[in-house]
Amino acid sequence: LAEGLGPDRAAPRSRLYSLNCLDWSLLTPATKEVLALAEQVKGRFQGDPSFEYNLSEINAEAAARLIESGKEPVIKEEARLIATIEQIDKAVGIVPRGAFVKTPLGSVHENRHFEGLSLVEAKKLSSYFHFAEPVNLKNKTLLEKADLDPSTDFLDSLEHDIPRGSWSIQLERGGTVVVLRSLLWLGLTFYHVPMTKQFGYVYFGTGEKNLDLPFML
């Protein structure tokens, strides 16, 4: 899988997939209907984009609603794949605080003045943001927003994630690299080299959400 970002980092992303790393196919953005259907599907991926999941065998109620609306109660693996990618990006796609800035016109760009987090700041969950449309930020009071910089603090912080404890922070290579791992989407790993612009995340997993996490903490 590969994602492409344009100059405006908040704009829709281009996503592609390949079965042999030579031929690539473009994934179309998932609709709200597809996202809802994908959440009904459980189990591992089959590895075949054309494979169809029969919702009648998974969720009879959801299948009945589709039949009533004149649609077939099936979802292709390709649709499930793009829905899962969007879920992962929205839930656990993260960036360091200050790495991006929001312009008065609403576009988001790389912050040329960002030189990385200090080691002290890099150890805090509050120094990392979800790189997705904010939810908790909109519910903050004016008093809570008073100390925030609207150009850099325009995203939701990880420190308020539910359930608490869904992130693991570790220092590696003698404290020169900070690594965050998601316990909600097992296989998601984010890294940042303090005092540098180097950061990123990668996902190597089964595409299944760890729904047992609240009982494991």
Question: What secondary structure, in 3-state letters, does the chain show?
Answer: CEEECCCCCCCCCEEEEECCCCCEEEECCCCHHHHHHHCCCCCCCCCCCCCEEEHHHHCHHHHHHHHHCCCCCEEEHHHHHHHHHHHHHHHHCEEECCCEEECCCCCEEECCCCCCCCHHHHCCHHHEEECCCCCCHHHCCHHHHCCCCCCCCCCCEHHHCCCCCCEEEEEECCCCEEEEEECCCCCEEEEECCCCCCEEEEECCCCCCCCCHHHHC
Domain boundary among 90, 105, 126: 90
Least confident of 52-61, 144-153, 202-211: 144-153
pTM assigned to the model: 0.81
Task: Tell me the pLDDT band of 22, cut-offs 50, 70 and 90.
Answer: confident
Q: Based on the fold, state whether residues 14 and 32 are members of the same structural domain.
A: yes
Q: Based on the fold, state whether residues 133 and 188 are members of the same structural domain.
A: yes
Q: Based on the fold, state whether residues 84 and 101 are members of the same structural domain.
A: no
Q: Based on the fold, state whether residues 148 and 134 are members of the same structural domain.
A: yes
Q: What is the pLDDT of residue 74?
A: 79
Q: Based on the fold, state whether residues 33 and 115 are members of the same structural domain.
A: no
Task: Tell me the pLDDT band of 178, cut-offs 50, 70 and 90.
Answer: very high
Q: Based on the fold, state whether residues 193 and 120 are members of the same structural domain.
A: yes
Q: What is the pLDDT of residue 144?
A: 58
| Average pLDDT, rounded, for the chain | 83
Q: What is the pLDDT of residue 138?
A: 63
Number of domains in the chain: 2
Q: Based on the fold, state whether residues 195 and 108 are members of the same structural domain.
A: yes
Containing domain of residue 39, as a range?
2-90
Q: Is the pLDDT reported for residue 101 higher than 90?
A: no
Q: Based on the fold, state whether residues 23 and 9 are members of the same structural domain.
A: yes
Q: Is the pLDDT reported for residue 121 higher than 80?
A: yes
Give tens-digit pLDDT for 39-90. 888 888 888 888 888 877 666 776 677 777 767 777 888 888 999 998 898 8
Domain boundary among 90, 118, 138: 90
Q: Is the pLDDT reported for residue 161 higher than 70?
A: yes
Q: Based on the fold, state whether residues 121 and 61 are members of the same structural domain.
A: no
Domain boundary among 62, 90, 118: 90
Q: Based on the fold, state whether residues 102 and 23 are members of the same structural domain.
A: no
Least confident of 21-35, 140-154, 193-207: 140-154
Q: What is the pLDDT of residue 192?
A: 94
Q: What is the pLDDT of residue 180?
A: 94
Q: Based on the fold, state whether residues 116 and 80 are members of the same structural domain.
A: no
Q: Based on the fold, state whether residues 78 and 130 are members of the same structural domain.
A: no
